[in-house]
Amino acid sequence: MPKVDLLQAALLSLQPQHLEVLDESHMHSRGLETHYKAVIVSEQFAGLNAVKRHQKVYAAVGELMGQIHALALHTYTPDEWSQQGVAPASPTCKGGH
């Protein structure tokens, strides 16, 4: 199963109202299935700062984190998402061979 599908399945444990998991490996120089972007909207993020939200995501992803190089996280509560509605674009890779 592709890692993007494994990531998506793991993140379902956060009971997201909105979930996007994108494989952005093609934008980087480290090979296939290495760079991902996750947009997660969950009530479980209410009252948590960014660090606590990311820790919650890492706990959900578990050992799979050791199999990827990078995971860009965009975490929102439903209220934040209703105001924002879109995650920022990912930056262009600057190399890293």
pLDDT in tens, 49-93: 999 999 999 999 999 988 887 888 999 999 999 998 888 887 766
| CB-based contact 37:72 (threshold 8 Å) | yes
**CA atoms of 50 and 56, how far apart (whole Å):** 10
Q: For 32-47, give the DSSP string.
A: SS-EEEEEEE-GGGTT
- pLDDT computed for residue 3 by the predictor: 87
pTM of the model: 0.85
- pLDDT computed for residue 25 by the predictor: 76
Q: What is the pLDDT of residues 5-55, one digit of tens each?
A: 999 999 999 999 999 999 877 665 556 667 789 999 999 999 999 999 999
Domains (range + CATH), the chain: 3-84 (3.30.300.90)
